[in-house]
Amino acid sequence: MREPVLEPAFEIRVDIDPHLRIGRGADEELTFTPVVGGTVSGPLLRGVVLPGGGDWAVERSGTAQLEARYLLRADDGAVIDILNRGYYRASAEVEERLAAGEDVPESEYYFRTAPVFQTDAPAHRWLAEHQFIGLARDEAGQVCVRVFVVR
């Protein structure tokens, strides 16, 4: 049986505003983080992150389940919808380092996603026809997601 091959596609660097606590119950916390812009760069896609949309997170027992939805505009003007679901988990020590503004390598905590794209732009239709995974990290005040296409 053939093993999957991960091909680097691009990196999304998302600018965010501070998260809003919505709350839910004693054992979980619901938050929303607004997306206000950003960039997309890499060998398979270049463009910008459009303002609007955001990331909803439900944290239970130290693990946050994430669902972010926002729009990308490719350099050729095409608009691409992204729905990015995943999980975030970090030790107390890593959380302290992140809170202090340190750029912690993605290998030191679990921040993984599975982005799904939609577009009718012919040049970017491949995005809606492949599976992707993302390795994410917080860096310089942005959420950065290295996106790989599964071949």
pLDDT digits (tens, 9 = 90+) for 75-100: 999 999 999 999 999 999 999 999 99
pLDDT (0 to 100) of residue 5: 96
pTM here is 0.93
Checking DSSP bridges between strand 47-49 and strand 28-41, what pairing results, if any? antiparallel
Could you read off the pLDDT of 53-68 as tens digits, one per residue?
999 999 998 999 999 9
The answer on pLDDT for 26 being more than 80 is no
Whose CA is closest to 49, among 116, 133, 142?
A: 142
As assigned by CATH, the class of the 6-150 domain is mainly beta
Mean pLDDT value of segment 35-46: 98
